[in-house]
Each structure stands twice: as C-alpha cells, then as structure tokens.
Amino acid sequence: MNYENIYIEEENKIAVITIDRPKKLNALNKDTIYELHEAFKELNADAEIKTIIITGSGEKAFVAGADISEFAHFSVKEGGKLAAKGQEILFDLIENLSTPVIAAVNGFALGGGLELAMACHFRVATDNAKMGLPEVSLGVIPGYGGTQRLPQLVGKGKAMELIMTAGMLDAQKALDCGLVNYVVAQEELLPLCQKLASKISNNSSVAIKQAIKAVNAGYSYDKNGYAVEIDAFGGCFGTKDFKEGTTAFLEKRKANFPGS
C-alpha cells in the first residue's frame, strides 16, 4: 500500500512507523488512522518484524491531537461512530497486537496523540515532550480510550486531575507517575527505542505474544487475567520456541528461536 501520511523503515527486524504531517503537527485525521491501521496489520503479519516503533516527524510533536476540523460539526450519532471506529481499527488493534509496539514520543502528545501512545505497549519520551488530554476544554471527553488507559497507567486520582483540568505533564512528571518508561534527549530517542526493540527481538516472539495477551487480560472487565496466564503458560510448553529456549539454557548457549 502507498501511504501519504506515514512512512515505514525496516532494519534488523525492527520497523519504524513515522507519522508525517509536520504542518499539522502530525495530528490524526481519518486517513492517517486508516493508514496506521493498514501499516500495523501489514507489519504484524510479517514474521521478519519482531518489534515496531511509532513516532512523529520533526522535533515538535509526536501527535498533537486529533484533527478537530474533521469532526467539529458532527452529530451525537456521528461522534459515537467516530470513537467506536477509531478504537476498533487502531487503538485496540495496537494494544492487542502480538508484535510489541514502542511509542517514541518526540514532543507534544496531546488528546488522540497521547491516546495513541498509551495504546502502545510502553513509551519513551524526549525531554521536551508534553503530554495531556485537553478534550474537556473543547466540551468533549477523550474518545479513543483515554479515560480507560490513563488511569491504568497513572492511577485513578491523577488521571481524574489531568482529564478534568485539561492540564499537561512535562516529560519528567510523566516519568515520575509511570506514564513513560524513559526520558532522553531528542537525539537519543530512536537509538534507545531501537536498543530496547533489539533486546525484545532476541526473545521468543511466541512467548511475547502470549505475555501481551495475559497482561492485557488483567485489565479487561470480562476476563480473568490469572486464568488467561495459566492457559498461555501451559500453551507455551507445546511450542518449538519453548523447546529451543530450554535446550539452549541447559546447553549454556544463546537460543535461536524458530518463532513457533
């Protein structure tokens, strides 16, 4: 597929998706959400890609928010459909993707941009990053999972404060409350993400897929996370990766996982 709003680079089993709308500070519009949906599906189906990094072009913004001009005149029905569709095809897709996704937050991550980052499996930010959910200042609430994922990451009280004040966190405060895992200088952002991605890529992709599934189950209202973990743990014993991993350990060598 030819992309107009994003581009993809692949190297050493790592794919980097860059949202490329610098004049709009990489704001998410309908077309960009669809292109990201297609890109994540395509990369997830590629057995050679072990980790995905998503970032924004330039040094000002990861994603400065949703493109408000697209939905400013929507009806109640249209607004509900917008949120439902976006969550289904992108935000929930990323959260449950079997390939690990790292958000490289380079600058502003506001509204839908922060929701995109939070849907990723974890986040690394530049020291100039600013994060927040300002939707209530527009008379609406976060609609791409922000009211659910932010409390999971920072706790209910802090999430309530951030959502109700429409305030922003700087990178250090985001690190302090667990919203991001690391804060680095701009030039160190992608190198660190690639280093982390490389470490992930050395491990069993089959086991990682099951770990993502089990962790997410613990935050789902209709699943028993412990039961999912037990089932996933047992299932790993029937894989070639388990046989290779345990054999390599006993033989005191590095594992070469077949990925099945």
The catalytic position among 10, 11, 78, 135 is 135
First to last CA, the chain: 28
The residue whose two tokens read 């992709």 is 205
Contact 28, 112 (CB under 8 A): yes
Say what the pLDDT of residue 52 is. 98
CATH of span 6-201: 3.90.226.10
Average pLDDT, stretch 183-205?
97
Per the listing, tokens 């350990």 go with: 249
Please state the rounded mean pLDDT for residues 189-196. Answer: 98
Q: Quick: pLDDT tens for 109-126.
A: 999 999 999 999 999 999
**pLDDT of amino acid 151:** 98
Measured N-to-C along each axis, helices 146-154 and 156-165 cross at an angle, to the nearest 10 degrees, of 130
- DSSP structure class, residue 62: E
pTM over 0.75: yes
The answer to whether residue 251 is catalytic is: no
pLDDT at residue number 200: 98
What ranges do the domains of the chain cover? 6-201, 205-250
CA 71 to chain centre: 24
Determine contact, residues 134/154, Cβ cutoff 8 Å: no
Catalytic one of 10, 115, 229, 251: 115
Cα separation, 48 vs 186, whole angstroms: 28
The CATH label, of 1.10.10, 1.10.12, 1.20.1070, 2.30.30, for the domain at 205-250 is 1.10.12
Active-site residue 115, yes or no?
yes
The predicted-structure confidence for 126-155, as pLDDT tens digits, reads as follows: 999 999 999 999 999 999 999 999 999 999
Per-residue pLDDT for 20 more than 90? yes
